[in-house]
Amino acid sequence: MLFFTQCFGAVLDLIHLRFQHYKAKRVFSAAGQLVCVVNPTHSLKYAPTRCAAAQASTEQGLLPPCHHHEAVHDPQLVPCTCPLFSCPWEGHLEVVVSHLRQTHRINILQGAEIVFLATDMHLPAPTDWIIMHSCLGHQFLLVLRKQEKYEGHPQFFATMMLIGTPSQANNFTYRLELNRNQRRLKWEATPRSVLECVDSVISDGDCLVLNTSLAQLFSDNGSLAIGIAITTSKVHSAEAEM
């Protein structure tokens, strides 16, 4: 009976995922957009990343302990950008994509415009939905996080990070769009570099921020569809023409 129950549950999950993907494709196929269904990464044992811990220590006026025999940290190394995992990995920008794909099984979608369909929005915070977007010869990381910035009041934060340097990130503009029930909400900004910290971007509020009631207006049966478009900035385009 236990074996049957587990197998039946797995089949139901697969059917639900296929149904969500089919429904999203039916809605957005007319616009020629690729759809990626993203399952949540949920952890009851939220472990902040090293950059988040360092930021918290700085805000509290605390400095990390000094060890005379400790190796000097390479500023070019990037910590793992999956914040819900206590992942000790760090490496150079060139290998971030392979780490995310091989270790954390993060999907990558190619195309000028894609649709990010986050499922199970009802899960308690903290929860992350993460996907990589390959466009214009670069890789971007979209992070949607459900987090309680104030106790008992969860919010959704969506931001786009370039897997590159801050100067490279300044060459692009990303747009996040929610569109449902004759309502439309857009956020447009310059992506941040993964050399910066996802946690700091969210704490600064420099991203698309939705409270629970607003997220429910745009969700459909617990799923939230976010249209993503990335373009080169006007300044960069003008310099290229010159």
Q: What is the mean pLDDT of each run of 10 residues along the chain (242 residues)?
A: 52 49 46 72 52 44 37 62 70 84 84 89 91 91 90 92 94 95 94 88 91 93 94 61 42
> 46 has which bridge partners?
none
Do the Cβ atoms of 198 and 161 come closer than 8 Å?
Answer: yes
For 73-107, letters b (16+ CB in 10 Å) and e give: eeeeebbbbbbbbebebbeebeebbebbeeebebe
Local structure of 26: helix, strand or coil: helix
**What's residue 112's pLDDT?**
76
Q: Are 123 and 146 in contact (CB under 8 A)?
A: yes
Other Cβ atoms less than 10 A from the Cβ of 175: the count is 16
Q: Is residue 167 classed exposed, middle or buried when 0-12, 13-18 and 19+ CB atoms within 10 A define those classes?
A: exposed
Read off the tokens for 26: 């039916």
How confident is the model at residue 238, as a pLDDT? 43
Separation in Å, CA 140 to CA 84, 96, 132, 149? 19, 11, 6, 25
Gyration radius from the chain CA atoms:
19
CB 172 within 8 A of CB 232: yes
SS3 173: strand
The overall pTM is greater than 0.75? no
Question: What's the pLDDT score for residue 26?
Answer: 46
CATH hierarchy code of domain 77-235: 2.60.210.10
Residue type, 19: F
The DSSP H or E segment spanning 178 is: strand 172-180
Ranges of each domain in the chain: 77-235
108: tokens are 């990558």
How many whole angstroms separate alpha carbon 162 and alpha carbon 25? 26
Task: Provide the pLDDT for residue 154.
Answer: 94
Spatial CA neighbour of 207 closest among 170, 159, 147, 142: 159
Tokens of 79: 């910590």
Q: Distance between CA 152 and CA 137 in Å, rounded?
A: 41
